[in-house]
């Protein structure tokens, strides 16, 4: 059923598994990115889906192992796509990262060919943990921000001689800041210590919030307030843990100040009444995309972040995630630091919609209207439909 104050519509069934949603600011449509690099135009009223950019028109031929995880537009309506590609041609496998950009706006019915705008490389990740370069978003300062996930679960060396045993790279486990007006941009490292910052967005006041996925070691998943120059713990510390996650977890530098995540004040998202504080969500729930709901939304959701949670990918006694939650952050303290008792800022978390099939992203597509992208049709870790493309759900403020 639709959440109170909303109507719920299955707007479209996606032609491929979708990793991101984005808008160029024009009313009536949004864009979907598939992990293969195809971009689709979505009519947000009728649900009609049309090709906008074809992967074969801009990705290198025979580019096996490609993974496209970021989609954004700048004020000139140029489209950006992030891609990660495994290259095993040398003694050590590399991640070839390219951010592609179109020369100008997309024109309906006309082919668009994104061109390489930024190209960097670093050693491919250990095991399945090449989180890669993903989410792109334009900040209130006019700069382009980009999440770069870790290449390890928690600094493990691995056993494959073809994978670098060097831990994290200076370009991984961090948030980049890029100038869209530069023709040859260099990533500025805006913040570090982020294992997999899958989604981030800003409040109207300019605060930057980001989700972060925790390790296999069952640490809580995080919601962080991102501040320039801050460090959020990875790989030294997870969530609010004081113990090391693994025997190989490194010691933090003595002078490193670690910024901790928001504390869940309940009632949902893993909150345990009477239990120890949780910073922020239960382990393995995989908070993914995030968007801010403004004053055009019903009062119960106004001023909250809508966060789809992809769900656990490891077998567990009970599934977590497979839902979307509303996160209402406590106001910051007057001095600009964290609010809440003991200096730890809190966030109330309410289940908004469930069950969902691996929800991966959310986008405000108009006044009082938000889209949720499902990656697949599987609403549990072991359920059917894991390989079937998902849906786009539209939630709209109900007319009074």
Distance CA 198, CA 252 (A): 24
Measured torsion, CA atoms of residues 83, 86, 89, 91, in degrees rounded to the nearest 10? 130
| 93 token code pair | 């496998």
How much is the mean pLDDT over the chain? 94
pLDDT band at 375 (very low <50, low <70, confident <90, very high): very high
Give the per-residue pLDDT at 185: 96
CA distances from 34 to 99, 183, 228, 388 (A): 15, 26, 30, 13
User: Is 162 within 8 Å of 88 (Cβ atoms)?
Assistant: yes
335 has pLDDT over 80: no
Q: What is the pTM of this model?
A: 0.95
Q: What is the mean pLDDT of residues 154-176?
A: 95
> What distance in Å separates the CA atoms of residue 245 and residue 154, rounded to the nearest whole number?
8
What was the pLDDT predicted at 339? 43
Q: Model confidence over 8-48: pLDDT tens digits?
A: 999 999 999 999 999 999 999 999 999 999 999 999 999 99
Query: What is the layout of strands, in order, in the sheet containing 79-87?
Result: 66-73, 79-87, 94-101, 115-123
What's the burial of 315, exposed, middle or buried (CB within 10 Å: 0-12/13-18/19+)? exposed
List, for residues 233-283, the tens digit of each pLDDT value: 999 999 999 999 999 999 999 999 999 999 999 999 999 998 899 999 999
- For CA atoms 179, 180, 183, 186, give the dihedral sign: positive
**Domains within the chain, CATH numbers bracketed:** 6-29+131-397 (2.120.10)
Is pLDDT at 340 greater than 70 in this prediction?
no
For residue 79, count other CB atoms closer than 10 A to its CB: 24
**DSSP structure string for 66-94:** EEEEEEEE-TT--EEEEEEEEE-SSSS-E
pLDDT per residue as tens digits for the range 126-149: 988 999 999 999 999 999 999 999
For residue 194, give Cα distances in angstroms to 42, 262, 325. 32, 14, 21
The DSSP H or E segment spanning 240 is none
- Rounded-to-integer distance, Cα 249 and Cα 230, Å: 20
Q: Is the pLDDT of residue 110 over 80?
A: no
The candidate with the shortest Cα–Cα distance to 138, out of 77, 228, 229, 96, is: 77
**% of the chain exceeding 90 in pLDDT:** 88
Lowest mean pLDDT among 5-14, 30-39, 192-201, 336-345: 336-345
pLDDT of amino acid 107: 83
The confidence score (pLDDT) of residue 344 equals 84
Within 13 Å and on the Cβ side, how many CA atoms surround 131?
Answer: 30
Query: Would you state the pLDDT for residue 61?
Result: 77
pLDDT above 70 covers a percentage of the chain that reads 96
Q: Which pLDDT score is estimated for 212?
A: 98
């Amino acid at each position: 059923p639709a959440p109170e104050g909303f109507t719920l519509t299955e707007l479209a069934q996606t032609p491929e598994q979708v990793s991101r949603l984005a808008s160029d600011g024009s009313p009536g449509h949004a864009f979907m990115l598939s992990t293969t690099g195809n971009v689709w135009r979505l009519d947000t009223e009728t649900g009609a889906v049309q090709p906008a950019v074809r992967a074969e028109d801009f990705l290198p031929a025979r580019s096996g192992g490609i993974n496209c995880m970021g989609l954004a537009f700048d004020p000139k309506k140029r489209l950006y796509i992030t891609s990660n590609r495994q290259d095993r041609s040398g003694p050590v496998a590399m991640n070839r990262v390219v951010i592609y950009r179109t020369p100008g706006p997309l024109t309906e019915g006309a082919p668009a060919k994104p061109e390489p705008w930024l190209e960097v490389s670093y050693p491919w990740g250990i095991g399945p943990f090449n989180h890669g370069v993903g989410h792109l978003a334009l900040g209130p300062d006019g700069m382009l921000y980009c999440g770069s996930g870790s290449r390890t679960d928690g600094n493990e060396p691995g056993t494959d001689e073809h994978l670098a045993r060097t831990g994290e790279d200076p370009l991984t486990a961090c948030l980049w800041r890029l100038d869209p007006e530069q023709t040859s941009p260099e990533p500025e490292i805006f913040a570090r210590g982020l294992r997999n910052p899958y989604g981030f967005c800003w409040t109207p006041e300019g605060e930057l919030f980001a989700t972060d996925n925790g390790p296999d070691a069952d640490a809580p998943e995080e919601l962080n307030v991102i501040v320039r120059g801050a460090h959020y713990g990875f790989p030294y510390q997870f969530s609010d843990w004081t113990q090391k996650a693994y025997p190989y977890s490194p010691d933090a530098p003595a002078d490193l100040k670690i910024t901790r995540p928001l504390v869940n004040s309940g009632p949902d998202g893993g909150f345990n009444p009477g239990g120890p504080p949780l910073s922020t969500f239960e382990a393995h729930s995989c908070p993914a995309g995030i968007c801010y709901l403004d004053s055009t939304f019903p009062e119960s959701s106004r001023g909250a972040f809508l966060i789809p949670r992809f769900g656990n990918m490891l077998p567990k006694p009970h599934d977590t995630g497979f839902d979307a939650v509303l996160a209402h952050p406590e106001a910051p303290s007057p001095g600009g630091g964290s609010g809440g008792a003991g200096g730890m800022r809190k966030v109330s978390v309410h289940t908004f919609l469930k069950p969902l099939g691996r929800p991966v992203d959310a986008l405000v597509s108009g006044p009082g209207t938000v889209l949720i992208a499902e990656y697949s049709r599987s609403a549990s870790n072991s359920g059917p439909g894991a390989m079937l493309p998902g849906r786009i759900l539209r939630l709209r403020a109900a007319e009074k």
